[in-house]
Structure 1
Amino acid sequence: MSESTESSSDEGDSQRVLYKNRPEWQDITPLKQDDGDYPVVAIDYTLEFQDCFDYFRAIVHKKEYSERALELTQTAASYNAANFTVWQYRREILKALDKDLHEELKYIEKVILKQTKNYQVWHHRKVLVEWLKDPSKEKYFTEKALSKDAKNYHAWQHRQWVIKTFDLFDGELDYVEQLLKDDVKNNSAWNQRYFVVNNTTGFTEDVLSREIQFTLEKILELQDNESAWNYLRGLLLHDKTGLSRNKTVTEFCESLYKDGSRSPFLLALIVDMCSERAAEDGAGDGNNLYTVARAMELCNSLATNYDTIRAKYWEYTAETIEKQSKGEVVDEASSSTN
């Protein structure tokens, strides 16, 4: 059983009566944690923490499902909300006592909003929603959590699960757009946009055109926005013509480049366009913009000026593109991209 001495309790330890001093618990013999005779690193638990978990272990061993056991799990969770056993046993008690799960949702909401990055509390809520088959509060609840941290992985994971499981996609693109208005660099919001489109309309030709236009407009707001460039790359994977033959995108990129933009994300995309053409046409016949020579030039610029932290990667990329254009086999295992 994994235990931490960190407490997130609403009530201070000094206000708690130890379980060993409570008359209603006198029939229970506390069960000490067995760390062996010679623990390598003995954890210095507080007296209150140790008392709580000694009694918790005892009721788990006894398989007691009662109101006092339910209260004990709440205390234990306040000391260590990341303890899987505490939440699992609490769920067993809830079922055994046929408790009002809507009340439990209210309780876990308060816990989550204080510990939004704790996997176990989110999992507990997920199980409750599954039992109730009622997702009506979940989108609003995750929005509350995301208002505290718009990139919280657990909140997004829960939201995606709810939306997909109960088909609650309506209005989700509007919500994502608002998040991107608030922070155009919010990678989680970009990811959610892809999730929604992919699970609803799919990337049809019309949808692809719409999404590309939306993304290009966002890139114009902030050219050094890796999230938007990555989303654009994801869109182009659905374009049957490839990276370098979508006229809207190529004209956009060339216009930015001509106007002096040297965003490393712009240059990286052009390099990949050149790489795509090199793989198809070899060195190229000089009748297109996306040649091996241009890739070499841009890789050098990235390595020496615009993305120096990844200089070795761009040197390797240049070498790889050149070899591919000559039909040579590239030994990736022997090359370093760090």
Structure 2
Amino acid sequence: MSDSDSDDWGDEWLPYSERIEWSDVQPIPQDDGEHPVVAIAYSPRFREVFDYFRAVLARKEKSQRVLELTADALRLNPANYTVWQYRRDVLRALDSDLYDELEYLGNVIRDNAKNYQVWHHRRVIVEMLNDPTKELELTSIALQRDNKNYHAWQHRQWAIKTFDLFEDELTFVDRLIAEDIRNNSAWNQRFFVLKHFGFTPEVVQREIQYTMNRIRVVKNNESAWNYLGGILRYGGDEAVNQRADVLAFCEELYTSGVRSPYLMAFLIDLYKEQCLEQANTNESEALARKVYGLCSDMSKKHDVIRRKYWQHVADNLKSKLSEK
């Protein structure tokens, strides 16, 4: 392994073997066995730092110098669980200022925003402090750099749920969706917030209109179509009452020439549900023909890669209707 950030260390960095204050420590080399199958080419700095880390770990030393050593080790390998865990042990033993640790972590996350161990350590420190005041800002900055960063979203949801920080989250999500209407993570976060507040009739009506308005802007947006489907599934009686308006909206788009596979799949689901509800009626036969026609178009033109699935949907409907 090489020191990918060697320029950041500076010329003043001194090897631990040359530091007087570390002269009492005998480093422990890594034991890869007598004949390792694939020997890793560790850099001299990497090898030395971790040799000293193994030594303090063996003697269970918890001191300020060990805390600084773990920082060096984590610069070289920020995904090392053992180093993070021991750093937490040292912080507890020294009764360190955990707000300093949050500041340190902010810098580490800036350069390692997709590293699970970094975010896990952050969570533990926040729990120890019982203070989430910096978490929404931190995750917002991380999401500005990558609005689909799974670890940042996971941490944000944890902080919001644990410390009841839901109040302004819809405003935050609205901004992200306005910036990137296809941001599936932002749509998912919106649903996360709604589940907390509950699907009241007012919320269901508002969200259906909100989503249809966004679909009008970008018809071929899978995220918005999935969100609309989620509202209909979880919205209770009010969602049932709104299905006619949603169907009319979908048919309007289809009639205008839109052939988004997400629109067509949505129509198939709506027609199929109505068809089964009205089985053995003239209306049911007409709806079934619409489903078969849409499934045929999907399998031959608009979603060919899943043609067998759409053939299965049509065959499944035929089978269910024959049983009624």
TM-score range (shorter-chain normalised) is over 0.9
Mapped contact 1:243–1:276 kept (Cα < 8 A): no
Partner of 2:165: 168
1:15-26 to structure 2, matched below 5 A, reads: 15-26=12-23
| Equivalent residue pairs, number | 323
Provide closer, same or farther for how the CA distance between residues 137 and 245 of structure 1 changes in structure 2, counting only shifts above 3 A. Answer: closer
Give the whole-Å Cα distance in 1 for the aligned partners of 2:248 and 2:111.
Answer: 48
- Cα deviations across residues 169-217 of structure 1 (Å, max 9, x unaligned)? 11110111011110110101101100111112x1111111111010000
Partner of 1:318: 314
1:1-338 to structure 2, matched below 5 A, reads: 7-8=4-5, 11-12=8-9, 15-200=12-197, 202-240=198-236, 246-282=243-279, 284-287=280-283, 291-327=287-323
Over aligned residue pairs, what C-alpha RMSD do you find?
Answer: 2.0
Give the whole-Å Cα distance in 2 for the aligned partners of 1:98 and 1:157.
Answer: 28
- One-letter identity of the residue aligned with 1:312: K
- Cα deviations across residues 234-270 of structure 1 (Å, max 9, x unaligned)? 0010244677971210110111111111110010011
- One-letter identity of the residue aligned with 1:233: G
Q: CA deviation at 1:276?
A: 1.9
Mapped contact 1:8–1:80 kept (Cα < 8 A): no
Mapped contact 1:303–1:310 kept (Cα < 8 A): yes
Q: CA deviation at 1:306?
A: 1.1
Q: CA deviation at 1:8?
A: 4.6
- Cα deviations across residues 95-151 of structure 1 (Å, max 9, x unaligned)? 111111111110000000111100111111111111111111111111111111111
Give the whole-Å Cα distance in 2 for the aligned partners of 1:10 and 1:176.
Answer: 38
Provide closer, same or farther for how the CA distance between residues 132 and 292 of structure 1 changes in structure 2, counting only shifts above 3 A. Answer: same
Mapped contact 2:119–2:155 kept (Cα < 8 A): yes
Provide closer, same or farther for how the CA distance between residues 103 and 67 of structure 1 changes in structure 2, counting only shifts above 3 A. Answer: same
Name the SS of the counterpart of 2:203 in structure 1: helix
Provide closer, same or farther for how the CA distance between residues 317 and 243 of structure 1 changes in structure 2, counting only shifts above 3 A. Answer: farther
Q: Percent identical across equivalent pairs?
A: 48
Q: CA deviation at 1:277?
A: 3.1
Gaps of 5+ in 1: 329-338
Q: CA deviation at 1:320?
A: 1.9
Name the SS of the counterpart of 2:281 in structure 1: coil
Partner of 1:335: none
Provide closer, same or farther for how the CA distance between residues 303 and 61 of structure 1 changes in structure 2, counting only shifts above 3 A. Answer: same
- One-letter identity of the residue aligned with 1:311: R
Give the whole-Å Cα distance in 1 for the aligned partners of 2:83 and 2:302.
Answer: 51
- Cα deviations across residues 37-67 of structure 1 (Å, max 9, x unaligned)? 2222211111110111011011111100011
Mapped contact 1:264–1:302 kept (Cα < 8 A): yes
Mapped contact 1:275–1:292 kept (Cα < 8 A): yes
- Cα deviations across residues 10-39 of structure 1 (Å, max 9, x unaligned)? 733765322122222121111121222222
Mapped contact 1:19–1:25 kept (Cα < 8 A): yes
Mapped contact 2:205–2:242 kept (Cα < 8 A): no
Mapped contact 1:150–1:186 kept (Cα < 8 A): yes
Give the whole-Å Cα distance in 1 for the aligned partners of 2:285 and 2:247.
Answer: 10
Give the whole-Å Cα distance in 1 for the aligned partners of 2:108 and 2:269.
Answer: 47
